[in-house]
Structure 1
Amino acid sequence: MHEMSIAIELYRGLRSEIQSRGGGRLRRATVVVGELSAIEPDLLRFAWESVIAQGPDGGALLEIEWRAVEQTCPHCGPVAATTPGGWLRLCPNCDVPLLLEGGRELDIASLTYDESETRMTGSLGALESLESKP
């Protein structure tokens, strides 16, 4: 499950950003996940909960914004998918190969944190112990 390593890196990036702003406790993070990113949102949420469970940011929420792939014909413009997650190879109007746009995102869109909490000293808490397990 590669979502665990992704959750760890997301958390590291968020902690780094919070530390660069003077520290605080993470409350919520929003990430954008694209359909072609090979990331399963439910598994990412599960991994996230494991990463933050015992650390200083325990209970921080992870919100995921799903971004679907858009199919576009170079001649006719956007083409609606026939089924969710299903794609056509050729434009149904002119038989030209379709282009896939978007869907590869994995971006941190926003974070919410409490500045009033005890400032952290750079430790990732439970994350360090999680990584040290065999």
Structure 2
Amino acid sequence: MTLTGAQLTALLEQSATNLNPGDDLKRVGGLIQSSGLDWTADLGRQAGQRVSAVQVNGQPLAATRAYRVVTHNVMLSGIHRYTTFAQGQEIKKLNKGVTDVVEAGLRRRGKVAPPVPARVQIRPAKK
């Protein structure tokens, strides 16, 4: 699918909210998994203002630019309040399990190198 930079930021904001919802009974999931993204979440800030310094492959995230994103059906359905995924465009669903997709991709590429780990900084909320 494609999502705008603003939508990606909204997903990261939701991830930060999931980590520190203010009410422990509303805590769901964990940190959203990403590849190629560097970002900072300051859990001491207000919801909607927690995410900063977002970069995609070393370049600043552009709010109006379209980015290709891969996820699975459960995230697309909005689990853990990730409803922004459903706003994506050009959604292509596969009738294959994630293991089959990854295996086919690895076979096509042949030799692969490990990805550069994302740099995610989480600044905890002050007690």
TM-score normalised by structure 1 residue count: 0.24
The structure carrying a bigger strand percent of its residues is 1
The structure carrying a bigger helix percent of its residues is 2
Which structure has the bigger radius of gyration?
A: 1
TM-score normalised by structure 2 residue count: 0.25
